[in-house]
Structures are given as structure tokens and as C-alpha cells.
Structure 1
Amino acid sequence: MGALPWIPTRTIGGGAPAVNPRDACPRDPRPGPGRRPTPRAAHGTTARARTAALLQGCREAGVPEPVTVEGDYSHEAGERLTAGLLRGPEPPTAVLHDNDMMAVAGLGVAGELGIDVPGRLSLVAWDDSTLCRPATPALTTMGVDAHRYGFSVAESVLEPVDGRPVAERWSPTARRVPRGSTARCTERAGT
């Protein structure tokens, strides 16, 4: 039996970036004083690729290098890490969470601290799940076409079953899905 079929995501070293990092920046790559997109990179290939793409995009856009913190994709990590950033000496005005669960937790922390989203803090989540839409405000996300991705996976599984070679396929490119959690920065998050 040959290698198992798989659907890779393009990374900076392997072709086109999986996402245009400028798309993750809320509306304007230089939206105001103190604006620093801050990914929540957990360990793993996807997180490393997302962080590398963000760093490259910030360099290309002339945006200062973002602060990065690592978690484990859990709600608890989202709460702890977001609280640490927002209570720090230079609180960010934007946070790019590495998944939906962490972003929902970050939105809760911002509310507990009295920080207006999106007035003083913009939040973006990777993974456009059903958790993001009913949040208040609804979370802006970086999402992929799940239907197209699922169709590609099904094709890759069925080809060898039918005795055909598996065609090379790539995961759909992530796109920014704008919602109510991002806006142009008008003041620093900690003021």
C-alpha cells in the first residue's frame, strides 16, 4: 500500500503563504498607536506556519514585530494569556488568537476588564466556527472554506478506493471574515 493521502496547507517555505497576514490585521495594517497583532501560537506545525506568516506579513507591511505568547488551544489558556497581555505594561490594541476557543475566552476577559471590543481592542480568531458568530460582538475570523476542504478530503480518500492515484491537493487559502470584533484603533487598550 502506498502513502496515505493528505491535504497539506501551504506555508512560507513550501510555496504561497497559507494566509495573507495583512488580511488578519484589523482593517488597516497601521491603524494607530500601539496596535500590535498578537498571535496565540500553540506548539505544532500549523501554529508555527501561522506565526511565520504573520511575522513576514508584519515586516512587509512595516508593522512592528508582534508579541507572541504560547498556549495549548484551550479556553483556560485563552483566558490566562489574554489577561496577561491586557494587564501588562504595554497592552495590545489587537490580539490574533490561534483558534476560536481562545478568542472567545479572550473576549470574555476583555469584558471582565472593562475593555471595549472593538473600540479599544480588536480581536481576531483563527478557525471560523459557530462559537464566533453568536459572541458579542461577533468575532472576526480567519477561516477556510470547510465545504471545499471536506470535498478535497473525500476525493483523496475515494481515489485509491477506486484504484486511481491520489491527485495532489492543497487546503483552501484562509480568508478574513470581518465581523464586529475589529475596528480602527483610536486609543491604547490600557487607557
Structure 2
Amino acid sequence: MKDIARRAGVSESAVSFALNDRPGVSEVTRDRVRRVAEQLGWRPSTAARALSGEGAATVGLVLARPAATLGVDSFFLQLISGVQEVLAQRQLGLLFQVVEDVAAECAAYRRWWAEHRVDGVLVVDPRRDDPRPGLLDELGLPAVLVGGVPDPDRPARPGFATVWVDDAGAMATVVDHLYALGHRRIVHIAGLEGLAHTERRVRTLRAEAERRGLSEVRSVPTDYSDAEGAAVTRRVLSAQSPPTALVYDNDVMAVAGVAAAASLGFAVPQDVSVVSWEDSALCRMVHPWLTALSRDAVSFGRAAARELVALLDGAGGGTVQVPLPRLIERESVRRSPLPEADSRSAGTPGG
């Protein structure tokens, strides 16, 4: 500030007023100070801003998932890309941390709040009986719940917003497609238990199966990794009545599943059809190319970041629904290989 004041020929207090958009200086002085500051490469100190109550110019994101699964998860990489795109426009930083569980995530929020490290947070992977919204309310940290479902019985909370996608509708789309092709033995190789979106997909699959009288339809949880995706694939295909269709909760497990099926002598799609919940380049790097649900994860991230920026600007909490994922049909799905009689018996409870 002294350097800027000396070069601009004004007082240090005038520099402070000009750079912090406060009244007390003329527009001519404000412009001169800003030009000098730009020439000197001045940037605001986030530590000083936090101490003065002006905010940290940073938002936080904590991921409570196995760290080994993160590097190959295309959805989160794209989500963060969309988040960063919006934050960069506002010159906001992103503080990112991976932890073991929700308890460690809550501890990170408390620490960040006490140290004035972040102005708000993006909360991912909503859970059953989730303690995080209540904690963030208590701390007074603005937050956006990414992937939550709005509760019509709960009034909107100031400083809290939700960005969500209709997982139930997406699963119904997949089941409709497979059912129309004669598939009656369907296994959903799901993600982590306890996550709200995993439970929505599992419930929808069960409801769709019951509505159609399908007895050989089920979900099997995993940790999202290629290793567990392959292991579960081998297990379900080794059963006495193996499924004719497999639905994977991410692209990595789907690709691993194709290889695991081949190791057991199952050809895709002649013997078993494969659907990936996430579409990515991986789905087009395996033979055959994988039928997949396509959603714009980058736009999802942008929407979440825009909602958080709006909260930081003083807007009230809201709810934003992103478009329903679209099923991209490729070569990994075809009609069920079971004879029509076997398909009918598989659709009869106890058959």
C-alpha cells in the first residue's frame, strides 16, 4: 500500500478506500490507484481479508471417499472442472481435501470455520441421516448440496442451496430399455452403500422390477473401483442363473466388467448386455463401445458453483435441477439371449 500510495501521489487510506471499493475517494483517484496497483502486480491478501472480516476469497470441497478411487472417476474430475471455471471468473480459490469418512469431513468444516479458511462449501455425496447440513447451519457456512433431493416438507434455509439430478428417472429409463429388449435377469453393480443417490437407484430398480413382476433383478454395492467391479461381475456371472444384463454405477467398473466377463467366456453383448451409468471416453475405448447414461458433469459443476457464488453475494437458498441423463445406445446392448419361454418364467415371482 505504501508503494502504491507513493507512486499514485495519494495517502495510504485513499489506497485502501480505492482498492476495497469504499466511498471516500473520487472516481479519478480510484482509477489512478487501480492502474498503479495493476502495474505493481498487487493482489489482495486472503489472510488479511479474513482477519478484517472481508472473507477468504476461497470455497471448500471435502470428499469422503477412498482416495484410490478418485483418480479414475471421470465424473468428479469433470465436476471440479465446471466448479473451477465459475470460481476463476470471480477470482475465488478452491480448497480441496480427501478424507476417510463423514466424521473427518465434519471435522474439516469446523477447522476451516475456526481458521476463517473458506467463505462457503460445496457438499457432495448426500447420505442417509446426513449430519453435514445441520453442522453447516450451526457454523453459519453457506453451502450447496450437490446431488441432494429437495424436501418439500422442509422450508428453504438461508445460506443453503441444492443442485440435483433425477437418479430415479434415469434408472427407470435404463430398466425400460432393457425390459423392451427382453431382459428379465438384471444386476445393478452399484456404488457405495449409504449414499443418497445409490439408494435412489437401488429403490427405483426394485420398484421397477416389482411393477413388472421380475424376480431376478437386484443390486450389489461396491466401492466404485475397477477391482470390485470386476470381482462382483465374476461372482454374479458364475451363478446358476447368470444375468443377461449388467448396469454399472460408473464407467470404470463397466469397462472392468467387460474384461471380467470375457475371462469367464461371456461375450458382450451376445451373452450379456452392459450399461454404464457414466459416459466418458473410456466407454468408447473398449470393444464393444458401451451403452451409457450421458450427463454433462461440467455443467453440473458450473451450476453448483454459481449457486454458491449467489449465496456468497447474499441470495437466499434455492433448488436447481439439472437435465435428466440421456441414454446413449451403443453396441454393448442387444436383445436378451434367453429364449422367450425363459424370459417369461424369469418375470414370474418364484419362476
TM-score (norm 1): 0.83
40, 63, 79: which one aligns with 2:189: 40
Aligned length: 185
Task: Give the superposition deviation at 1:170.
Answer: 2.8
Query: C-alpha offsets along residues 32-60 of structure 1, whole Å, 9 cap, x if unaligned?
Result: 3x732211123132211111111112223
1:3-42 pair list within 5 angstroms: 3-10=142-149, 18-20=167-169, 21-25=171-175, 27-29=177-179, 31-32=181-182, 35-41=184-190, 42=192
**Aligned partners of 2:269 and 2:332 also within 8 Å:** yes
Task: Give the superposition deviation at 1:151.
Answer: 2.5
Unaligned runs of 5+ in 1: none
**Aligned partners of 1:39 and 1:68 also within 8 Å:** yes
Q: Greater Rg, structure 1 or structure 2? A: 2
Q: Which amino acid aligns with 2:184?
A: R
Give 3-state SS (helix, strand or coil) of 2:198's partner.
helix
**2:309 aligned with 1:158, yes or no?**
yes
1:19-168 pair list within 5 angstroms: 19-20=168-169, 21-25=171-175, 27-29=177-179, 31-32=181-182, 35-41=184-190, 42-45=192-195, 46-168=197-319
Query: C-alpha offsets along residues 87-114 of structure 1, whole Å, 9 cap, x if unaligned?
Result: 1111110011122111111100112222
Change (3 A) 1:123 1:39: same
Partner Cα distance (2:212, 2:272) in 1 = 20
Q: Which amino acid aligns with 2:185?
A: R
CA RMSD in angstroms comes to: 2.6
**Aligned partners of 2:187 and 2:247 also within 8 Å:** yes
Q: Which amino acid aligns with 1:8?
A: G
Q: Percent identity?
A: 30
Unaligned runs of 5+ in 2: 1-139, 154-164, 340-351
Task: Give the superposition deviation at 1:30.
Answer: 5.1
Higher strand share: 2
TM-score (norm 2): 0.47
Give 3-state SS (helix, strand or coil) of 2:186's partner.
coil
Query: C-alpha offsets along residues 69-94 of structure 1, whole Å, 9 cap, x if unaligned?
Result: 22211111011110011111111100
Partner Cα distance (1:71, 1:87) in 2 = 18
Give 3-state SS (helix, strand or coil) of 2:304's partner.
helix
Larger relative contact order (C-alpha < 8 A, sep ≥ 6)?
Answer: 1
Partner Cα distance (1:64, 1:143) in 2 = 28
Partner Cα distance (2:253, 2:222) in 1 = 9
Query: C-alpha offsets along residues 137-179 of structure 1, whole Å, 9 cap, x if unaligned?
Result: 1111123232431231121121023232243213432332221
Give 3-state SS (helix, strand or coil) of 2:246's partner.
strand
